[in-house]
């Protein structure tokens, strides 16, 4: 009789647990008291935007943390990328070689600058295949826009050599790589510019927000003008610009979250390693592994299933049990509906194959090990 009661309990607990919704990510937030104390002075100063105290402090702290000379904060990651491209003053109709295996923002930032994206296939680690870049260079090529994907870092050395050979600019989309190091150096140091997203779903967030890393004061000043209408004083507007400033509430959140980054990444690492231990011996699943040259931030846990049909089944099974995985990135940006099949003929064999089979599992700092166990068991 007692054995029967224990079984009933277990079944009840299992039923309750399966109703729990688990999203693919969850925003990291500091203790509420810490954030309230941080924003309390704003009620005294009433200085909520326009490069206030917290904005300036966060630029300094992030420059130190990311080991880069200058940082320009923006309202979001997309504007960081769009303004970065704009700051290069490329002729209209010029071509930028980039990857289709990324968030749509990367492609839109090129197009909204009146430029043409030239899509390059990817390699095993989901980043741009640097061995295919040279074949895509034409007399109209002005830049390469690679993306660090799932925390995997592009082959920076080869991309640098290609850019130097053909006199091209390099702008890195480092939205997935906050806090990472490559060969012991912060990833924001590479390329002519590197951009980060501080969206609420990222390892590090300022609610919304972004940043551009650059090497010299002149470029920083130019980016300042672009994000603030070109306004330098009450009576002086030196250039045409947009409104892409980070406000003080965002900057305050960023200052708070930056204090907890080591703890945040360590917690993510524990979740990442637990997933890896549970799924590593499954021949039908390929796990993402980091190069020894990278100090990762454990932002994502992608798995590559053996077929598109298996991905479809796995996605549906997880969703049925309240687990929200993501087909990240599917479709490729080149194949988005807004382009009306314009790029469908571009040979992106590996990118399209991986996009049809990849599934990103839930991962965030406070994801419970029991939930990781359940997700692995469902898979």
Please state the three-class secondary structure of the chain as a single string.
CHHHHHHHHHHHHHHHHHHCCECCCCCCCCCHHHHHHHHCCHHHHCCCCCCCHHHHHHHHHHHHHHCCCEEEEECCHHHHHHHHHHHCCCCCCCEEEECCCCCHHHHHHHHCCCCEEEECCECCCCCECHHHCHHHCCCCEEEEECECECCECCCHHHHHHHHHHHCCEEEEECCCCCCCEECCEEHHHCCCEEEEECCCCCCCCCCCCEEEEECCHHHHHHHHHHHECCEEECCEECCCCCECCCCHHHHHHHHHHHHCHHHHHHHHHHHHHHHHHHHCCCCCEEECCCCCCEECCCCCEEEEECCHHHHHHHHHHHHHCCECCECCCCCCHHHCHHHCCCCCCCCCHHHHHHHHHEEEECCCCCCCHHHHHHHHHHC
**For residue 224, pLDDT beyond 90:** yes
pLDDT (mean) for 55-69? 98
Confirm if 152 and 126 have CB atoms less than 8 A apart: yes
pLDDT (mean) for 348-369? 98
Tokens 């109703």 correspond to 19
pLDDT (mean) for 246-264? 98
User: If you compute the radius of gyration of the chain from its CA atoms, what whole number of angstroms results?
Assistant: 22
The pLDDT, as a whole number, for residue 4 is 42
Residue 356 to residue 20: CA distance in whole angstroms: 27
Task: Give Dmax (Cα) for the chain.
Answer: 86
pLDDT (mean) for 283-307? 97
pLDDT (mean) for 269-297? 97
Domains in the chain, please, with CATH?
A: 2-25+260-378 (3.90.1150.10), 32-259 (3.40.640.10)
pLDDT tens for 241-252 read 999 999 999 999
**For residue 13, pLDDT beyond 60:** no
pLDDT tens for 162-179 read 999 999 999 999 999 999
Given pLDDT bands bounded at 50, 70 and 90, which one contains residue 82?
very high
Q: What are phi and psi of 269, to 5 degrees?
A: -60, -40
CA distances from 79 to 84, 111, 122, 237, 282 (A): 8, 13, 25, 20, 41
Given pLDDT bands bounded at 50, 70 and 90, which one contains residue 19?
low
The pLDDT, as a whole number, for residue 132 is 98
Structure tokens at 206: 């300022």
Contacts of 270 (CB under 8 A, 6+ apart): none
pLDDT tens for 97-120 read 999 999 999 999 999 999 999 999
Structure tokens at 175: 């939205």
Tokens 């700051």 correspond to 87
**For residue 334, pLDDT beyond 90:** yes
Residue 159 to residue 108: CA distance in whole angstroms: 22
pLDDT tens for 135-157 read 999 999 999 999 999 999 999 99
Q: Which of the pair, 232 or 6, is modelled with greater confidence?
A: 232
The pLDDT, as a whole number, for residue 130 is 98
* Count of beta carbons in the 10 Å neighbourhood of residue 262: 10
Q: Which of the pair, 19 or 308, is modelled with greater confidence?
A: 308
Report the share of the chain in percent with pLDDT over 90.
94
pLDDT tens for 200-222 read 999 999 999 999 999 999 999 99
Number of residues in the chain: 379
pLDDT (mean) for 238-263? 98
Q: Which of the pair, 359 or 12, is modelled with greater confidence?
A: 359
Structure tokens at 183: 């060969």
């Amino acid at each position: 009789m007692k054995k029967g009661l224990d079984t009933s309990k277990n079944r009840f607990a299992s039923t309750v647990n399966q109703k729990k919704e688990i999203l693919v990510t969850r925003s990291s937030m500091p203790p509420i008291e810490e954030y309230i104390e941080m924003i309390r002075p704003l009620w005294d100063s009433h200085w909520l935007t326009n490069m206030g105290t917290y904005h300036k402090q966060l630029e300094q702290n992030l420059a130190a943390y990311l080991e880069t000379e200058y940082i320009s904060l923006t309202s979001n990651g997309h504007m960081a990328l769009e303004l970065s491209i704009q700051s290069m003053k490329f002729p209209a109709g010029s071509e930028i070689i980039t990857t289709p295996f990324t968030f749509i923002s990367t492609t839109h930032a090129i197009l909204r600058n009146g430029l043409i994206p030239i899509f390059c296939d990817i390699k095993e680690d989901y980043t741009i295949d640097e061995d295919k870049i040279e074949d895509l260079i034409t007399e109209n090529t002005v830049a390469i826009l690679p993306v660090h994907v799932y925390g995997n870092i592009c082959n920076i050395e080869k991309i640098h050599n290609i850019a130097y050979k053909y006199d091209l600019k390099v702008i890195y989309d480092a939205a997935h790589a906050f806090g990472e190091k490559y060969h012991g150096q912060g990833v924001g140091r590479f390329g002519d510019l590197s951009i980060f997203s501080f969206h609420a779903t990222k390892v590090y967030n300022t609610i919304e927000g972004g940043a551009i890393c650059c090497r010299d004061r002149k470029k920083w000043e130019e980016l300042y003008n672009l994000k603030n209408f070109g306004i330098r004083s009450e009576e002086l507007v030196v250039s045409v610009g947009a409104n892409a400033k980070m406000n003080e509430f965002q900057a305050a959140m960023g200052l708070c979250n930056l204090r907890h980054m080591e703890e945040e990444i360590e917690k993510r690492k524990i979740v990442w390693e637990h997933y890896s231990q549970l799924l590593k011996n499954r021949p039908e699943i390929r796990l993402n592994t980091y190069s020894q040259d990278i100090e990762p931030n454990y932002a994502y846990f992608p798995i590559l299933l053996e077929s598109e049909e298996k991905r479809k089944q796995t996605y549906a099974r997880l969703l049925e049990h309240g687990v929200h995985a993501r087909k990240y990135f599917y479709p490729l940006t080149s194949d988005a509906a807004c382009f009306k099949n314009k790029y469908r003929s571009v040979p992106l064999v590996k990118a399209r194959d991986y996009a049809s089979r990849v599934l990103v599992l839930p991962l965030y700092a406070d994801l419970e090990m029991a939930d990781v166990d359940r997700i692995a068991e469902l898979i």
